[in-house]
């Protein structure tokens, strides 16, 4: 019997969320099929690939990244270089230096950095905090003000600070709010509901329901994302129809496989390549399970992952 393909698009769809302004603005989400199921219906907006820049410049320790930035001295110049990368859709600016347990840069200083980066690039911008809930809330408020006209996505509002972040980023400045929960569909849903009760509109929310490097509990992430997409599409659960943005960089480059030096583990080969491999495997897996955008650190990963997206969606 010949195989007869029966497309099965859903009646429900993931929300389309636009980030950035002008020609380079990007839209994530919008699809009415499971991740990469192009055979059921065309994917409205293929997953997007972002490149991470940190305010501290710690990633410059990686030779491949240092090479990209050769001849630059300011973060603005670095952002300009990053814009030229093959396959990059957006810039993710991470304020690692704002951490109160680290450099503890003030929110005002960070806002100035954000302005510098914004004036250097016309790509959409995602802002990542330092992870400290209280500091991020203060930081995001200043940066949301500084980038008021850029339609920025802020990563992220968590259970501890969703009110402050939601009110500042989502309500006061009308920017996009990233809702972060830890690998549990119900927590993800609860945070989305809380944000919308606060007054943030669903179409202004993207979610990060947790991330992990492959081999480091990624199966939990995969299962959570899978269930979120299933509930969003097959059950038309409006409080789970937000597109997923997964920060891969910080996970992939922090695991043993990426960190241990070649001197310590000669049989593993060059450390940089291992980091790239971890990043690509994690990003590709995340996209396969439902990420609508991934944030990456290495130029090589950006190139490979964007070509993977192309191959899968065109």
Partner 1 sequence: MSVLTDLIYAGSDAVAGLTEGLVNDAIKQYGAEKTIAFPDTAYFLPTIYAATGVKVKTLGDLPACVDVLKSLISKKEDLGEALNAGLATAVGAEIIEALKYVGKEDPYAEETGIGFVPDPVIRSLGVPLVTGDIPGVAVVLGKSEDASAAADIVKDYQSKGILTFLVGDIIDQIADAGVKMGLEFRVVPLGHDVTAVTHAVTVAIRAALIFGNITPGDLPGLLAYTKERVLAFVNTFGALSEIVVSAGAGAIALGFPVIVDIDLAENQVPGALESVLDHKETVKHSLNLRGIKIKLKEIPIPVAFAAAFEGEIIRKNDMHAEFSSQKNPAFELVAMRDENEIEDHKLTLVGPDIDGEAPVGLPLGIVVEIYGAKMQPDFEPVIERKLHHWLNYIEGVMHTGQRNLIHIRINKEAYEKGLRLKDLAEALYCMVMDEFDSVVDKCQVTLYTEKDTVQQLLDTVAVPRYDARDERLNSMNDESCDTFYSCILCQSFAPSHVCIITPERLGLCGAVSWLDAKATKELTPLGPCQPVPKEGCLDETKGIYTEVNKAVETASQGMVHNVTLYSLMQDPMTSCGCFECICGIEPFSNGVIIVNREYKGMTPLGMSFGELASMTGGGVQTPGFMGHGRHFISSKKFISAEGGVERIVWMPKELKDAVGDKLNATAKELYGIDNFIDMIGDETITEDPEALLNFLTEKGHPVLNLAPLM
Mutual angle of helices 75-83 and 107-120, in 10-degree steps: 40
Residue with tokens 């802020």: 154
Q: Which is nearer to partner 1, 233 or 280 (CB)?
A: 233
Residue 82 binding partner 1, by CB under 8 A: no
CB of 267 to partner 1, least distance (A): 36
CB of 294 to partner 1, least distance (A): 24
**311 burial type by CB count under 10 A (0-12 exposed, 13-18 middle, 19+ buried):** exposed
Residue 107 binding partner 1, by CB under 8 A: no
Residue 173 binding partner 1, by CB under 8 A: yes
Do residues 183 and 220 make contact, with C-beta atoms less than 8 angstroms apart?
yes
DSSP string, 213-235: -TTTTHHHHHHHHHHHHHHHHHS
Residue 14 binding partner 1, by CB under 8 A: no
CA distance linking residue 280 with residue 42, whole number of Å: 24
Residue 235 binding partner 1, by CB under 8 A: yes
Q: Which of these ranges, 48-56, 70-78, 98-106, 225-233, lies near partner 1 under the rule CB under 8 A? A: 225-233
Residue 183 binding partner 1, by CB under 8 A: yes
Out of 110, 120, 221, 231, the residue judged to bind partner 1 by CB under 8 A: 231
Q: Which is nearer to partner 1, 176 or 298 (CB)?
A: 176
Out of 77, 83, 184, 203, the residue judged to bind partner 1 by CB under 8 A: 184
How many CA atoms are closer than 13 Å to the CA of 163, on its beta-carbon side?
1
CB of 2 to partner 1, least distance (A): 32
CB of 199 to partner 1, least distance (A): 5
Residues 6+ apart with CB under 8 A from 175: 144, 147, 148, 151, 152, 153, 154, 169, 204
Q: For residue 163, what are the CA distances in angstroms to 15, 106, 150, 225?
A: 22, 21, 22, 24
Structure tokens at 16: 């389309």
122 to 161, contacts with partner 1 by CB under 8 A? 137, 141, 145
Binding site for partner 1 (CB under 8 A): 137, 141, 145, 163-164, 166-168, 171-173, 183-187, 190, 193-194, 198-199, 201, 223, 227, 230-231, 234-235
């Amino acid at each position: 019997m010949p195989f007869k393909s029966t497309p099965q698009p859903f009646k429900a769809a993931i929300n389309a969320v636009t980030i950035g302004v002008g020609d380079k603005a990007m839209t994530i989400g919008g699809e009415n099929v499971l991740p990469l199921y192009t055979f059921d219906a065309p994917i409205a907006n293929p997953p997007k690939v972002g490149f991470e820049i940190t305010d501290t410049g710690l990633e410059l320790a990686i030779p491949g990244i240092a090479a990209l930035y050769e001849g630059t001295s300011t973060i603005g110049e670095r952002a300009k270089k990053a814009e030229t990368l093959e396959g990059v859709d957006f810039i993710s600016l991470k304020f690692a230096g704002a951490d109160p347990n680290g450099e503890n840069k003030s929110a005002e200083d960070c806002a100035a950095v954000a302005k510098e980066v914004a004036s250097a690039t016309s790509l959409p911008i995602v802002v990542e905090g330092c992870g400290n809930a209280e500091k991020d809330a203060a930081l995001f408020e200043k940066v949301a003000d500084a980038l008021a006209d850029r339609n920025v996505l802020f990563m992220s509002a968590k259970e501890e600070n969703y009110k402050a972040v939601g009110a500042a980023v989502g309500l006061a400045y009308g920017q996009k709010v990233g809702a972060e929960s830890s690998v549990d569909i119900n927590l993800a849903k609860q945070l989305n509901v809380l944000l919308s009760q606060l007054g943030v509109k669903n179409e202004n929310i993207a979610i990060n329901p947790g991330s992990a490097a492959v081999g480091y509990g990624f199966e939990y992430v995969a299962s959570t994302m899978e269930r979120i997409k299933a509930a969003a599409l097959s059950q038309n659960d409006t409080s789970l129809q937000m597109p997923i943005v997964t920060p891969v960089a910080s996970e992939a480059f922090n695991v043993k496989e990426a960190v241990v030096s070649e001197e310590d583990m000669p049989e593993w080969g060059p450390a940089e390549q291992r980091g790239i491999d971890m990043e690509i495997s994690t990003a590709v897996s995340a996209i396969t399970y439902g990420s609508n955008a991934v944030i990456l650190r290495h130029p090589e990963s950006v190139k490979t992952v964007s070509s993977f997206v192309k191959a899968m969606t065109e």
